[in-house]
Amino acid sequence: MKNDITSKADIKTFVDAFYAKMPSDDLVGKVFMEVMHVDFSTHLPKMYDFWEMLLFQGTSYKGAPMRPHLQINQIHPITPAHFERWLAMFRETLHDLFEGPKTEEAITKAENIAATWAYKLDYLTKHPA
């Protein structure tokens, strides 16, 4: 039996494992690696804080997470296929490492974020300012 997510150390574990998959992914990874050239040394700590905020009401995250995705979408459109792949990779990573209510909560939150952001990006693509 696997443990549930219980701490920021667990968040670091799943975030690191998830983003370790990016270089070899030909869809989502391409956006991270080839389009945006993400510096993971600065991106990952933001993700630790983001997920701590979502799962444990952490207060370290500072930022507007939608903004960078809007900028990416202007350079390289983010499609429903990107969100589907991102979610599949996220679910797989979490299920490989953890199980329990907090793990399922993380997946639900990821699904809700993906659905909301996919809708917003699609709307903005169809209705540019």
DSSP E strands in 40-107: the ranges are: none
> Which CATH architecture best describes the domain 8-126?
Orthogonal Bundle (1.10)
Note the pLDDT tens digit of each residue in 45-99: 999 999 999 999 999 999 888 888 888 878 888 888 999 999 999 999 999 999 9
Q: Answer yes or no: are the C-beta atoms of 106 and 51 closer than 8 Å.
A: yes
The alpha carbon of 66 is separated from its chain's Cα centroid by a whole number of angstroms, namely 11
Domain ranges of the chain: 8-126
Note the pLDDT tens digit of each residue in 101-114: 999 999 999 999 99
Q: Answer yes or no: are the C-beta atoms of 88 and 27 closer than 8 Å.
A: no
- Give me the amino acid identity at 75: I
